[in-house]
């Protein structure tokens, strides 16, 4: 697994990285369902995750991104999931809602999830923008609020060995549909106000848990997420270290874009009533030219997992004949 991660880093290290159509998260290791439907139910119980991100702070109209996902394992072999995603950038707003299903197949020491997802994408533009020229002369510029919705689908494979490693590959936006809407003063049949083609995206992810001292006190968790739309490629390389299964800290590097610090706490050891609750935060320092005008990006993560069925209580019977 370590060889696979190093090889992937070498392959993508020389590729220029720019943002694709899909929004990004620094704490991507907690957002597997959002990019790979094969991971649905991989936690073995039911999990819910909230991610909220404010990117390029200091800019007016900066990207504001929010995600909620939930997944569960049912009947030991079937994973189901739900993802709701909202992203706003200036006058543009995006909403994604999708359902995922994954079949879990025992393979060697781990489990292979074979998953698919279906959903909708809605894109809308407001009219509160500043135009240098008279925008009424160009039907491609919206002079009123406009929106459109289309169907979406994806597929993914996700293999994991619990508390050891994971690797996944997926493709999203398979239909490559278009979102179109007519400008308010455009000619009949035109689609000038909103004409957006969704590109197919591909994701490769991998991670490894290394118990440094073989006592579960210090666990190093390197991971990668590579994504491409066949026009540009982006690579995130992450490394966090978990202490006593209680707190973690680490760094992330997004090629030619940002360096980030990550920290978090698992409340399971803090209080029995908070078992399964995790809170994480990350702060990005922009390394591109935008860094001269931005005060970075801030992201929060909240995750809760629990078993659907509580493990049975072990009962021991002692015969009065043998004391």
What phi and psi values does residue 21 have, to the nearest 5 degrees?
Answer: -70, -35
Residues facing residue 71 across a β-bridge: 47, 81
pTM above 0.85, yes or no: no
> Which residues of the chain, if any, have pLDDT below 70?
1-21, 58, 61, 127, 129-144, 182-193, 289-294, 309-323
| Beta carbons within 10 angstroms of residue 323's beta carbon | 5
For position 266, what pLDDT does the model report?
95
Distance separating alpha carbons of residues 270 and 219, to the nearest angstrom: 19
Distances (CA, A) of 160 to 32, 68, 134: 12, 23, 56
For position 323, what pLDDT does the model report?
47
For position 125, what pLDDT does the model report?
80
Residue 93: its H or E element: strand 92-107
For position 314, what pLDDT does the model report?
47
Nearest to 94 by CA among 84, 107, 106, 108: 84
For position 291, what pLDDT does the model report?
60
Q: How many CA atoms lie within 13 A of 122 on its CB side?
A: 11
CATH 3.30.365.10 for domain 2-129+145-306, yes or no, is no
Distances (CA, A) of 302 to 50, 245, 295, 316: 5, 16, 23, 39
Q: Which residues of 79-99 are buried (b: 16+ CB within 10 A; e: fewer)?
A: bbbbbebbbbbeebbbbbebe
For position 309, what pLDDT does the model report?
60
DSSP 29: G
Do the bridges between strand 218-228 and strand 165-172 make them parallel or antiparallel, or are there none, so unpaired? unpaired
Distance separating alpha carbons of residues 197 and 123, to the nearest angstrom: 11
pLDDT digits (tens, 9 = 90+) for 187-238: 555 555 677 788 899 999 999 999 999 988 999 999 999 999 888 888 999 9
């Amino acid at each position: 697994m370590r060889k696979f991660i190093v090889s992937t880093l070498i392959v993508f290290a020389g590729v220029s990285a720019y943002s694709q159509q899909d929004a990004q998260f620094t704490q991507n290791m907690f957002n597997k369902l959002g990019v790979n439907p094969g991971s649905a139910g991989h936690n073995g119980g039911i999990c819910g995750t909230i991610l909220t991100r404010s990117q390029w702070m200091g800019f007016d109209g900066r990207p504001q991104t929010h995600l909620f996902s939930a997944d569960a394992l049912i009947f030991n072999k079937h994973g189901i999931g739900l993802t709701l995603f909202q992203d706003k950038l200036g006058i543009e707003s995006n909403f994604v809602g999708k359902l995922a299903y994954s079949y879990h197949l025992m393979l060697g020491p781990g489990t292979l999830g074979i998953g698919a997802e279906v959903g909708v994408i809605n894109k809308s533009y407001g009219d509160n923008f500043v135009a240098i020229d008279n925008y009424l002369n160009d039907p491609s510029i919206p002079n009123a609020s406009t929106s459109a919705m289309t169907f979406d689908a994806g597929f993914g494979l996700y293999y994991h060995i619990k508390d050891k490693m994971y690797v996944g590959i997926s493709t999203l936006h398979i239909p490559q549909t278009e979102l179109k809407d007519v400008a308010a003063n455009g000619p009949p049949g035109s689609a000038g106000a909103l004409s957006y083609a969704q590109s197919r995206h591909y994701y490769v992810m991998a991670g490894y848990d290394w118990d440094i001292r073989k006592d579960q006190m210090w666990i190093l968790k390197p991971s990668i997420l590579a994504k491409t739309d066949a026009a540009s490629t982006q690579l995130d390389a992450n490394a966090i270290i978990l202490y006593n299964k209680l707190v973690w800290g680490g760094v992330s590097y997004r090629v030619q874009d940002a360096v980030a610090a990550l920290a978090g706490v698992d409340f399971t050891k803090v209080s029995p009533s908070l078992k399964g609750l995790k809170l994480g935060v990350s702060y990005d320092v922009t390394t591109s030219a935008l860094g001269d005008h931005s005060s970075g990006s801030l992201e929060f993560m909240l995750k809760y997992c629990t078993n659907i069925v509580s493990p049975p209580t072990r009962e021991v019977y002692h015969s009065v004949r043998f004391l």
